[in-house]
A = this chain, B = another copy of it.
């Protein structure tokens, strides 16, 4: 784990590239630090004697005092010289603001920077970033135009602009920050490094992230688990969805992958709360800040929601929004309804949503709140107010704040409108009650909170699974031999051999090179047959007319010739190895697809979905990443519509889900053992009825 205390808890900071030129980055850095920091500040500038009234130095070496942190904002080409000098002087922390590295294609400079950091054991953030704020050390080592108030959220962003927007909105949102990190190019420090640090940081209770790319999923998932163990939710907005990678892939798996589906797997497995929009990220931070704290960690659920409203419409909208969450309308207890009847007008609706009517006063809200707060079946309460002629807006806001203080239950508020309700919103912000302008937003945020609570309650499973019947040596040899030959593609025959070595059940298949051989093989099998073309040049056999089903053993010779003729017509240039002959499986089963895709950022991912001809039509697939647990695979299946087919839809028998899960885990082990596997399609993998297992019917593989 990297020691970020060198940065966040620095007691002395040198600003290399500090300047007196107003509006420049070097000047803003100096001013921000001077206006915040209680430790020593050493501006470094070749020409000036003073920077913003602080004594300036011409170099780091000239300072001759203990320096914890270098804040570097000089042209890219001299950044490494500065780092080298600092390294020699024993400075262990660095933030590089300067741009001009990897982001403009200058990989050489980037590599040089990394080498120096390693040589001197320097912890470095950046380059090409806005800087870092630690409100608990009064450290504003950034050129942001605004500062951050102390709070419980650590914010990490790959975009400096999103940092500035968040800082500019923070006050209105009532959000404070424990750490604020612009990670820039992430040359030495990425999000995962910070997660590891923040899991133990006592000022941080929530971690929120804007990222355009994430890496090292295995390490990330482990770091996310550490955050979970510490009771700290991790919220990420992942921007930059792109299908470019998927479009260029040749396999089914590749074509269906899409970067975003692999990220979806990462988020699911790491228990990351995903924000889909920038505003949602703000909305989520708001409710998590209000609700998550060390004392609340044991709160079981936010699931059962009571809604109190003075207007039907927004209540209806709130209920509509529940559909996309795991929240439910609480069914109120008889006692609660009695209490509601006592305090509310006769026409008021005492079912949930509770309509206190348009002429409700603060006192009516108070009565309804008390009734609902005492109900054990209610986990969370949403109070909606629309400004009617006699509505007591501010007074109602105060009633809500008091109720929250008294009961310590989750209460959120939607006061609709603008001009008339703004003052009430300010009351909420001041009192750390999450308030929103629209019902849809609060429901989504509350849903995210409940999702976190569910994840927090889940027991973490040990990822390591021990399989029998795995012959790693054999696959090693196959790959070594292939690499020697320069072979990258593995058609059916050899792909099946590899899968067999990892415990997959395959059919015994024989390669016939002539019709005579085909006749001999048919006699040996003596059952209905499947004939399949074997050729490294033919990826999709059925499209090339290269598959024949239900062939009678007696016709094997004739059909062998027919098949070759048919394939020759469609693929005259393909080099044909022969025809694979196997027994025709007549047992009822579900054709699924199992595959491997290599995401440019996240690496090898496993795909599971409905196979056969429906693969492309319904694209009913889900992904998984290593380290993969049994529980993770259950969740992959949960995401599939075809889970109903696995369970046995419309009178058909339930399928062998357990062995299918076992197969997914074996595949996970295979790609962990052999990262050189670039693409793999097992299609179809036939899932037989419960107790009968699964059979690989066809497969192909490419290594790099």
Contact = CB atoms under 8 A, between A and B. Distances in A.
B613 A641 contact: no
A277 B441 CA distance: 9
When all copies of this chain in the complex are counted, the total is: 2
A23 B390 contact: yes
Given A420-B145, A616-B650, A617-B641, A239 B316 contact: yes
Contact of A145 (B104, B162, B387): B387
A279, A389, A418 interface centre (most CB from chain B within 10 Å): A389
A164 B168 CA distance: 30
A317 B239 contact: yes
Given A241-B323, A320-B241, A440-B277, A164 B618 contact: no
A164, A279, A420 interface centre (most CB from chain B within 10 Å): A164
Contacts of A659: none
B104 A317 contact: no
Contact of A25 (B158, B389, B420): B389
Contacts of A82: none
A278 B440 contact: yes
Interface in A435-456: 437-441
B386 A161 contact: yes
A272 B620 CA distance: 30
Contacts of A613: 649-650, 652
A152 to B, nearest CB: 20
Chain A interface secondary structure, helix, strand, loop or mixed?
loop
A629 B25 CA distance: 63
A564 interface: no
A418 B169 contact: yes
Nearest to A570: B651
A165 interface: yes
A310 to B, nearest CB: 7
A210 interface: yes
Contacts of A649: 613, 616-617
A496 B168 CA distance: 68
A421 interface: yes
Interface string A155-175: 001111110110111011000
A444 to B, nearest CB: 10
Nearest to A649: B617
B146 A420 contact: yes
A642 interface: yes
Contact of A313 (B167, B212, B388, B641): B212
A351 B157 CA distance: 24
Given A168-B418, A651-B543, A159 B312 contact: yes
A389 B314 CA distance: 40
B240 A320 contact: yes
A310 B419 CA distance: 31
A251 interface: no
A691 interface: no
Contacts of A441: 279
B389 A143 contact: yes
Contact of A644 (B277, B314, B616): B616
Nearest to A311: B161
A681 to B, nearest CB: 14
A314 B159 contact: yes
Interface string A303-342: 0000000111110110010010000000000000000000
Nearest to A241: B320
A596 to B, nearest CB: 22
Contacts of A641: 617-619
A169 B422 CA distance: 11
Interface string A195-223: 00000000000000010100000000000
Contacts of A278: 314, 317, 416, 438-440
Nearest to A357: B99
Interface string A124-163: 0000000000000000000111100000000001111110
Contacts of A618: 618, 620, 641
Given A277-B438, A313-B210, A440-B277, A388 B145 contact: yes
A168 B421 contact: yes
A617 B617 CA distance: 14
Contacts of A167: 417
A8 to B, nearest CB: 23
A552 B617 CA distance: 34
A347 interface: yes
A542 interface: yes
A113 B650 CA distance: 52
A503 interface: no
**A-B interface, 10 closest residue pairs, ranked by CB to CB distance from nearest:** A159-B313, A161-B311, A168-B417, A165-B416, A161-B386, A23-B390, A169-B418, A277-B440, A162-B313, A165-B417
20 contacts: A146-B419, A159-B313, A161-B312, A161-B314, A161-B358, A164-B311, A164-B386, A165-B416, A169-B418, A169-B419, A239-B317, A240-B320, A278-B317, A278-B438, A542-B650, A543-B651, A613-B650, A617-B644, A618-B641, A619-B641
Interface of A: 23, 25, 28, 104, 143-146, 157-162, 164-165, 167-169, 171-172, 210, 212, 239-241, 277-279, 310-314, 316-317, 320, 323, 347, 358, 386-390, 416-421, 437-441, 542-543, 613, 616-620, 641-642, 644-645, 649-652
